[in-house]
Copies of this chain bind each other. A is one copy, B any other.
Amino acid sequence: MPGRRTPGLTVADIGEFPLIDRLTARLGPQRQDVVIGVGDDVAAIEIEPGRLQLMTCDVQVAGSHFQPERCDPHRLGRKVAAINLSDIAAAGGWPTHFLCSLVLPPETKLEFLDGLYDGLVEEASKWEADLIGGNVSRGEQMVIDVTLLGEVAGGDLFRRDGASVGEQVAVTGHLGSAAAGLALTRLSELRVASSARKQVLDAFETPSPRLAEARVLVETGGVRAAIDVSDGLSADLGHLCDASGVGVRIDAARLPVAGATREVAGAAGVDPSDWVLGGGEDYELLFTASPDRMADLVESVFSATGTRVTVIGEIVPADKGRELALVDGTRRGLDPTGWSHF
């Protein structure tokens, strides 16, 4: 087994992604039916020729991802489902079944769990995904771990590693809204219009997985690489560029930021670009396609779902780096300022 000797080092010393790399390096070769294995947001295995099963999991920890004493359990349940559903969307697939493991402090209220379960099942049921099992254990801190299965036809699978130089980069919906909502939960004294407050809080608390949009993208054809924006645009573009071996140039002026997000940012004295680039939890789809296919993709998604798709930049050679072109003509590096757990 590989592995440097690192006496005394802790996970806090190296951070989330180096930790994942380190653990992944300890694995041997994968089974032949593994199409996408560790290191991605979603695994894909070939269950029969041309038919792939998708599998993803996501853990929500009380105190870190949510505040049980302050959140609405029904909305939390919907969000936990949506986070996983978004990973299936980013693979071009549809969800089928899921498991839910709960670690619960003994003082957890039954009514909280009722709400959590109802929200989880409601969101998953919208997309015809069924809860088929799970687990409850006792612990000091509530933990909710959902493992979601999905499917996709082999040729339809979206991957992170398919982007090529010259392709355009596009994103569904708005970016930064969830970060604005998170800011509002922490700074409740901010004076913003109630409609803006509701819009960004909804984006943060009950994100909508882009499954319908992904289906249209698959049917329209032409997507070359995709990922969901869960860690912030910089980090997720970084994952896509790392996997594809390319660089990217994003036009700051084209980033789709909702008016409500700008309003909250103004009240908070924050540059909304920071929320777009580093905020995370938007659960929008980020994808690439050649310029001759992009217009058709944008149009098809809008006409079928009402969701706007915005072209925000283009894929460039790896040696050009990853840059944000600002309105004044200057450029800055797209540093991976996304969320790390440690």
Contacts and interface: CB of A to CB of B under 8 A. Distances in A.
Contacts of A38: 131-134
By Cβ-Cβ distance, the 5 closest A-B pairs, closest first, are: A12-B106, A43-B132, A43-B133, A138-B341, A147-B147
Contacts of A161: none
A20 interface: yes
A111 interface: yes
A153 interface: no
Interface size class of A (residues with CB under 8 A): 35 or more
Interface of A: 1, 3, 6-14, 16, 19-20, 22-23, 26-28, 30-31, 33-34, 36-38, 40, 42-43, 45, 47-48, 53, 55-61, 63-65, 96-97, 99, 101, 103-104, 106-111, 113-114, 117-118, 121, 125, 128, 130-141, 143, 145, 147, 149, 341-342
Contacts of A106: 10-12, 342
Contacts of A135: 57-59, 145
Query: Copy number in this complex?
Result: 2
A107 B138 contact: no
A131 B101 CA distance: 18
A139 B8 contact: no
Nearest to A48: B48
Contact of A34 (B48, B63, B130, B139): B130
